[in-house]
Structure 1
Amino acid sequence: MKEQPLSVADRGIATDLLFKTKASIKDLSAAITETTTGELHELLTDELHKAIQQHEKIYGFLQDRGIYDAYRVPHQLEKDSSYIAEALEGTGGMQ
């Protein structure tokens, strides 16, 4: 079965989810360094590993569809510019 291209909205949602997952990884990492109990440290470490796995899945999803490529920054910036233009066209140029 052929994959359907993502709509502007779906692309935005998936990208937002990727960034929020990355933020949770940073927050969990910081929280782990502040914990004083082994039980909480273990719980947060488990959550950190889950968040990293989720980030990998979301990134793979976007990369497989050619939407996000963190390793080719100039090319990604061109894509981002075209995504912005496409989104603005869909809203009549209004934000």
Structure 2
Amino acid sequence: MKNPSNGRLVWNHSTHIRDLIPVLEKLITQTGITTVTPGVISRARAHSPDLKLRVSVPIRGGYKLIARQGKTVQEVFIVTDLNQAELENLIIQALK
């Protein structure tokens, strides 16, 4: 049975950055995060060997994040009532 305090992870796309889904699954267990939606995948010029997740811009009801690993970049949308600093702290914890 699902814990009612858990958020929801939306599976819109069939592909995701490797190692991203376990991090997002940790985030949805945090209080204040309602919905996490991985978005569009694209390519970057620079190489980022480790998975990185950073807050990009505020959106209505939450934030857009940018996930990077290797030369792949993926948008992630988070619906939350947390402020940016609180969300960044949760991201740091989820990436450990």
TM-score when normalising by structure 2: 0.23
Decide which structure has greater strand share: 2
Decide which structure has greater helix share: 1
TM-score when normalising by structure 1: 0.23
Larger Rg: 1
